[in-house]
Each structure stands twice: as structure tokens, then as C-alpha cells.
Structure 1
Amino acid sequence: MNDLETPVSGHEESPKKKKPALAAFLNFIVPGLGYVYAGNIKRGVIAYFLLILVAVISIRFVAYTFTLFLVGIGLIIAFYVYLIVSGYRAVGKAKHQETKRWDVWYVYVLVIAAQVGLRPFLQSIHSLGYLSPITPVVIPTPAMDPTLQIGDHLMFHKTKTIARNNIIVFKWPPDQKIMYIKRCVGMPGDTLSIRKAAVFVNGDSLTGDYMLKYRYAVQTDGVRIQQRVLDQFGIAESEFYDVGSGSYSMFLTQEQARQVRGLPFIKFVEREMTSEDELEPDVYPQTGSGQWNKDNFGPLYLPKKGDRIPLTHRNLALYGTCLKYENESVELLDSAAIINGKQIDTYAFKDNYYFMMGDNRHNSLDSRYWGFVAESMVLGKALYFYWSKDWDRIGTSIR
């Protein structure tokens, strides 16, 4: 009698049913991940890079005005909404499939973690910074206050075409890996001087529709000034210092000085000024003995491309840094220079040079301290605020 083959009882495990809400959520966390969850890897990859492309093009290449910036943000939000809705629907349309080896919860967690880790890189994308004409920056110091305040977010346009009084982003000459932002007060070919903190260009007083800040000495009748009192005048905590015995040092606009002067317990508010005969060795050109100070400076000629000068002892003190910017090997002598192994006694400039100053004139490290900004160091011109703690400033043009 032959043994009969015994049939195996039971059934095959059916595929797990996907959850539409989870697909929508995954598309929200990582664009395209919901499609991968639904079984469409190709669509997920395309969605991920398409959103990045939309964000980059709309913000980095198109947003020359705040209106265009808002249009770009609107496109990004609309695309996200589409991803969420279509991710939900993708699961409903997908056929039940066998669970893939990678289709487990911890793989999705790892992908989300990788996205979080990559976010700083994706937000900056330094390589795109060299390609895109529009770049966002954040203000870290009060040097341009009140025009630019700490925490302001703004866009700047990469251009070499700038004019006097434009607010310019540039590479800081002492360390060109660092970006600075200041107001351009001197152009190539100008002769600039500062007298009693007032800037003169080619003999004329520099004017503009912007406010400046200076350091003021403030004395009370002994009453301690509370921050809540200064808040009503827009004076930040970082803008005043208690020096004791009711005395304060404050960085104020002319209007703020008037408001503080009107407080009943204030004895006097006086603008501080460095006298003409008080020399500051840390002010350019830093020859050791000091020639000028922050409130009395120049006259100083700003070279333009093609200008030729004799290399006198004084000219080397003033323009020696320019020679070093423009050449690989420079040795400065008393009244000559050795450039790339050849001694010369006259020099023709290869670049244009600018003079930059902060609007917070007594609280700004600028050209008064480190000299000229070469045109090759200029990155671009400030356009508008896209975010600020002061909501009234959002969307306004920068002047």
C-alpha cells in the first residue's frame, strides 16, 4: 500500500494593508517618502528633487522683490499640499504588494533622521551660493543699526554694480572667508574725509534718507534707568551700558537722544566725540603712531582701476594693503615694493576700491579700521527684508 502525500494545511500571509494617512504624513516629513511607502520609489525620488528645485528656483533665482518672494513661498506651500493629498491617494490606488525587505518602520525612521541631518546643508547649499543671483543673510550685530537690526533676515542680489549709499554685502578684507554688510560711502576715484563724525566726499557733506546712531553720555539724578523705559524708545538692552553713579553710555539716533533727554530724571544727554588731536593707533592705516581717529579721518583717496601712484613712504602706508590684495608676492620697502620678485617705485591699481561704514557709527568695525574694500571682494547689494522681529519692516526695501 502506497503512502499518500499529505497536503499541507494553512494559507499564505497576505500583504499588509498600507495606511493612506501615514503616506500623507511621510510626504509631509520628507517629500516623496509617502510615495515610496506606497510602493512607487521612482515617483518618490522625483518628488523629492522636484520640491528642492522649485524652492531653489523660486527663492534663489526669481525673488528679486518681496512680492516674487511671496509667490515663491506660495508655490512651495502649494506643492507641499499636493504632496500630502496625492500621498494619501497613492495608497488607495496602489495594489497590494508583498512587503519588501526594506519596507520596515526603522528604514523610514533612518530616512527621516537623515533628512533632519541634511537640513542645514539643504538650507544653505553653499555650492548654489556661487550660482544663484539671490542669497539670504541674517544680521548678527548692531553695526548697521537702526537700518539693519540684530536678527533681521534679508535678501541680497549678487552684483558688482553699486552706487554710493547702497548697503553692500562683501568679503571682510582681513579674512575673506567672513561676510560683512555695510553702507558704501566712498566710490572709486572719490576723496573721503570725516570731520567731527560727519562724512565728506569730494568736499561735499554726504547725505541720505537714513538714520545714524552715535554714542551718547547720559547722566541721571541718581535714578537707575529701567529697560522697560528704554523699550518704549526702541533702545535694546545691548545698546546701553551702566557705567555707575547714574551714568550711562548709549548708542542712540538723534530722535532717541531727544526722547531720553525728555525723561524727568535725566540731567543731560551729550553726544560723545573724539577730538581731532586724539589719535587712535587701531584706526587705519595703523602705522603704530596713529594718524586719525574714528570721528576725524582722512582725507583719503580711493583708488580706481588704472590709477598709477608713486610708491612713497606715505603711499605705501595707505595703499600697501591694496598691493597685497592684487598680487601673490609683495614685500613693502621704505619707498618701493618688490612684487613677484621685481622691485618697482610706481604702481598701477588693478581693481576698484570702496569705503564702507556702519550706520551705528560708534559701534561699527568698518573701513575706518581695516581700510579699502576691493571690487573683487564685493558680493552684492541688499534688496529687502523677508523676516524681522518688527513686523512693519517685513517686505520693505533696504536703503
Structure 2
Amino acid sequence: MAKQLSKEERSKRRNRRTKNQNEKAKSWIREWLDALLFAAVAALIIRAFFFEAYRIPTPSMEKTLMTGDFLIVSKISYGPRTPMVLGVPFTNIYMQGLVLPWTRLPGFSEVERNDIVVFNYPIDIAPIAGKTNYIKRAVGIPGDTLSIDDKQLYVNSEEANPFPGIQQVYEVDVRNRIRLSASKVQAAGGTIYQSRNGNSGSYRINMTDEVAENISNWPEVTNVELFVLPDTFNEYDRRSFSFSSGFNNHHHMSPVVVPFEGQTVTLTADNYHIYEAIITRYEKNDVERNGGQFIINGEETNEYTIQQDYYFVMGDNRDDSEDSRFWGFVPQTHIVGKAGIIYFSWDKDRWLPRFDRLLNVIHD
């Protein structure tokens, strides 16, 4: 017969089993906590130095990038920046007034002309990493000479490359007593921006060149041409700040060289608006000005040597994008990374994913 355990021995066995179960439970919890901690640290490192997810909140890059696109942006393409501020991980909350010493690590390439780049909005009042993220096309790289004539961008005296996704506003005339259908225009890929003569007559439509060519063949349409502001029109009377004061409007821009590191510029009363933000805001110099006379860091001079490279960016939705035509150049320190892939896209109007855009590689 099996030996019967005493009450005391049975109690000891129960206590040992309970202790073993508790230790196993604690071990399991520790393993999960360790795994979660490792995953969080790995995600922070990946986010800080390799890749980060971004969402397109506005239509400024349509039709190349759509509102509701979710992107993976490569920080290693141009070189990641070491942390600039201390903040709450995975949020935009950071410690005010504390800016860390930082540097940019080596990347695979420099920003190339027409790359689609994410950058910190230069004129935000915040530490660089705390500024709003913007995404635009880098149409001008350091040393390029840019100009705009009747909305046509010229780079180094040559017409800039056209891209299929670029949208602009066109004027569309239709036959008498015919109303242009907004739904038909939308189905073709355009958006009626303005009806100039009530419900019929002339319309302004935001669309790509391809859509404009298509609409020009509609039987009710008599004429399609690019809408261009006259060069005598000064839209900046309505603006409190404009990089392009001295230019008439964003459909026309006199030639300007995109600043580059080591460039020495001669400052005048007529061109200081181009370089003011660079000298004072981005390169932290004290400037006193009296007309065409300048005192920089206590020294009277009319010359300044640029300390870093800059870029000129524009949205592909050319008539619905505030970009370098309005607020100036993007400093190299503000470059975050290169747009790589659309991993998801949400159409808020239809409340459906755009399945045809999933996992699309973003081509320059």
C-alpha cells in the first residue's frame, strides 16, 4: 500500500507547487516584458536612423501623392540625423528649450534634382526636429539657377522635366447654354476650381496635362488653355510674408541661384529678401540693416558666405501648394529623408482603401 502523507507534508507540497507556478508566471511575464522592451528599442532605433512612416495630409503633391497616402520614408538615403531633442517616444511631444548637439550620419546619396523629400518646415518657430514635416519635390539643388515664366519652371535655362502627376489650373471654355458636369470632370481626373460665368461659359479646372488633353476633345468644350496670372498682378499685397516679394506672383519668378555652401553673395536692398532667412534664421547671425548697408555680427559688410547647402522645393499640385515660391529655401539641416513606398492609402471621400496604390514604389 502507498504510504499516506501527513497533513504537514501535503501542505509543503502544495506550497512548492504554488511557488513553482508563481516563478514560471513571473518568468513568462519577464520574457514578455523583455521582448516588448527590445521591440520598443528596436522600433525607436529604426525610426530614428533608418525608416519612418508618414501620412499625406494635404493635396499639395497630387496626383503624384494623394491625400491619405501612408508612406515609408528612408532616412538612410541622405543620412540620418542624430537626436536633436528629448521627447516622448512615438509622439511630437518634446522638452521645450533643450536642443541636443547633433550631427548627420553618412547616407547613400545626396539629394538629387526632382527627388521627393520629407523635410522640416523651415519657417516654423521650433527646434528643427520639432517643426512640422512637409513633403515636396526638390526641383532645384544647390547651385541651380531657377526661374518661372508663365508657370513654366526653368532649371539652368532649360525647361524642367514634366512629370505625369503634376497638376495645374486650366481655363476651359464651353459652348453657349451648356453646363460642364462637375461629376464628369471628376471622373476624368480633374476638379472644377471655379465657374467664372455662373453655371456655364468658362471654368477653371485643376488637372494634369493628360486630363487637359482629354477634356479638350469633348464636344461641349471649345478651348482649353493654361491659366496664368499676368506678370503685372501682385498677389503678395494680400500676404504678411513672402519670400518672393520683388517678384510679381508665383506664376513668374526672376532667375535666382539656389544657395550652396561656400557661395559668397553680395547683399543689396533689392536682394536681401532672398537671403534674410538664411543669414538670420538658419545660420544664426546678428544683422543690422540701414537700407543697403549691412552690419553682420558687428562687422560692416555687403558680402556673406553661405554656410550650408539649400534646396528649392515645389508641390506637384502647382496651384495648390505653398512651397519655396512663397517661403524660400529648405536648409540641408532640415532634410529628413526620401519618400520610398506607399504602404497604404485611404480615400476619405469613399471610406475605402485605394487598393491600386498599395505597396507602390514612389518614382522621381
Give the TM-score normalised by structure 1.
0.65
Question: Residues 59 and 213 of structure 1: is their aligned pair in 2 closer, same or farther, counting only changes over 3 Å?
Answer: farther
Question: Residues 300 and 240 of structure 1: is their aligned pair in 2 closer, same or farther, counting only changes over 3 Å?
Answer: same
Question: Residues 359 and 209 of structure 1: is their aligned pair in 2 closer, same or farther, counting only changes over 3 Å?
Answer: closer
Q: Structure 2: how far apart are the matches of 1:361 and 1:297? A: 14
Give the counterpart of 2:203 among 216, 238, 248. Answer: 248
Residue equivalent to 2:321 = 364
Residue equivalent to 1:21 = none
Q: Does structure 1 residue 395 correspond to structure 2 residue 359?
A: yes
Query: What is the 5 A alignment of 1:89-168?
Result: 129=47, 131-158=48-75, 159=78, 161-168=110-117
Q: Structure 2: how far apart are the matches of 1:322 and 1:308? A: 13
Report the Cα offset of residue 392 of structure 1. 2.0
Q: Structure 1: how far apart are the matches of 2:41 and 2:186? A: 38
Conserved 8 A contact 2:111-2:141:
no
Q: Does structure 1 residue 380 correspond to structure 2 residue 318?
A: no
Q: Structure 2: how far apart are the matches of 1:284 and 1:371? A: 8
Indicate the structure with greater strand content: 2
Indicate the structure with greater helix content: 1
Conserved 8 A contact 2:190-2:208:
no
What is the SS of the residue equivalent to 1:194? Answer: strand
Name structure 1 gaps, 5 residues minimum: 1-13, 15-35, 62-128
Question: Residues 263 and 40 of structure 1: is their aligned pair in 2 closer, same or farther, counting only changes over 3 Å?
Answer: farther
Which deviations, in whole Å up to 9, do the C-alpha atoms of 1:129-184 show, x marking residues without a partner? 5x232111111111111101100111111225210000011111211511111100
Q: Structure 2: how far apart are the matches of 1:163 and 1:254? A: 25
Which deviations, in whole Å up to 9, do the C-alpha atoms of 1:366-386 show, x marking residues without a partner? 111111111111111111111
Query: What is the 5 A alignment of 1:1-399?
Result: 40-48=25-33, 50-51=35-36, 53-54=38-39, 57=42, 61=46, 129=47, 131-158=48-75, 159=78, 161-175=110-124, 177-220=131-174, 221-235=176-190, 240-243=193-196, 244-246=198-200, 247-281=202-236, 282=239, 284-287=242-245, 290-324=246-280, 325-388=282-345, 389-398=353-362, 399=364
Question: Residues 319 and 174 of structure 1: is their aligned pair in 2 closer, same or farther, counting only changes over 3 Å?
Answer: same
What is the SS of the residue equivalent to 1:192? Answer: strand
Report the Cα offset of residue 334 of structure 1. 2.1
Question: Residues 382 and 52 of structure 1: is their aligned pair in 2 closer, same or farther, counting only changes over 3 Å?
Answer: farther
Conserved 8 A contact 1:306-1:348:
yes
Q: Which moved more, 1:134-143 or 1:333-342?
A: 333-342
Q: For residue 152 of structure 1, what is the amino acid of its counterpart?
A: D
Q: Structure 1: how far apart are the matches of 2:182 and 2:30? A: 53
Q: For residue 251 of structure 1, what is the amino acid of its counterpart?
A: N
Q: Structure 1: how far apart are the matches of 2:56 and 2:244? A: 28
Q: Structure 1: how far apart are the matches of 2:217 and 2:37? A: 54
Q: Structure 1: how far apart are the matches of 2:214 and 2:276? A: 45
Q: Quick one: percent identity of the two aligned structures?
A: 32
Q: For residue 397 of structure 1, what is the amino acid of its counterpart?
A: V
Name structure 2 gaps, 5 residues minimum: 1-13, 15-20, 80-109, 346-352
Question: Residues 397 and 354 of structure 1: is their aligned pair in 2 closer, same or farther, counting only changes over 3 Å?
Answer: same
Report the Cα offset of residue 310 of structure 1. 2.1
Which deviations, in whole Å up to 9, do the C-alpha atoms of 1:306-349 show, x marking residues without a partner? 11122222232221111012015333332243334443321111
Q: How many residue pairs align between the two structures?
A: 294
Q: For residue 334 of structure 1, what is the amino acid of its counterpart?
A: G
Report the Cα offset of residue 56 of structure 1. 7.0
Which deviations, in whole Å up to 9, do the C-alpha atoms of 1:180-217 show, x marking residues without a partner? 11100111111111112121111122215543111022
Q: Structure 2: how far apart are the matches of 1:222 and 1:55? A: 64
Q: Structure 2: how far apart are the matches of 1:313 and 1:284? A: 16
Give the TM-score normalised by structure 2.
0.71
Q: For residue 35 of structure 2, what is the amino acid of its counterpart?
A: L
Conserved 8 A contact 1:189-1:302:
yes
Residue equivalent to 2:83 = none
